[in-house]
Amino acid sequence: MRVAFLVAPEGVEQVELTEPWQAVLDAGGEPVLVSTESGEVQAFNHLDKADSFPVDRTVAAASEADYDGLVLPGGVANPDALRTDDAAVAFAKSFFDAGKPVAAICHAPWTLVEAGVLEGRTLTSWPSLRTDIRNAGGTWVDEQVHVCTSGPNTLITSRNPGDLKAFNSTFVPAFGG
């Protein structure tokens, strides 16, 4: 199981990157950090700078064909930056086009709103995204983890870091781990 983790150069919520990353490793999988720029990404603990992590591959050099699934960690700034990057949006959308599973937590569905892949889908997120998801044709629910199979792929979503245990134990098996 090879899993792409798509993040912006700055702003990913550290725990929403590191805990799913560890879940993939624990399942014997290979997590790959994909970003819009090479070098390192700066993670945050809410609004405070946290650790930085080396980028394994840029979006320009990545292809969904190389991965079994896509994880989109949150943090407010992270998906907000990703959704303004055409290549990042296209990379996320390519997993839907290929019918591969996608997992997104907290604010991460903003990237999916921009990708235009939420029509007819049911998902959860940080509550402030509710209107954006509805405007994109999706149905928002307030659940710890939600699995939506009413589309070309499986979409697994959670609301916040407090849901990480349920998020990880749901997306890893769906990705083949």
DSSP characters over 36-97: SSSSEEEEEETTEEEEEEE-SEEGGG--GGG-SEEEE---SHHHHHHTT-HHHHHHHHHHHH
Does the active-site annotation cover 46?
no
Residue 42 domain boundaries = 2-174
Does the active-site annotation cover 107?
yes
What's the confidence (pLDDT) of residue 25? 98
What's the confidence (pLDDT) of residue 145? 98
- ∠23-112-173 over CA atoms, to 5°? 25
Alpha-carbon distance of 108 to 7, in angstroms, equals 9
Under-50 pLDDT residues of the chain: none
What's phi and psi for 120, nearest 5 deg? 75, 5
What's the confidence (pLDDT) of residue 177? 81
pTM equals 0.98
Domain CATH for 93 = 3.40.50.880
Q: Considering the candidates 46, 107, 146, 148, report the single residue annotated as catalytic.
A: 107
Amino acid (one-letter) located at 79 = P
What's the confidence (pLDDT) of residue 10? 97
What's the confidence (pLDDT) of residue 35? 98
Number of domains in the chain: 1
pLDDT in tens, 109-128: 999 999 999 999 999 999 99
Q: Considering the candidates 46, 106, 146, 148, report the single residue annotated as catalytic.
A: 106
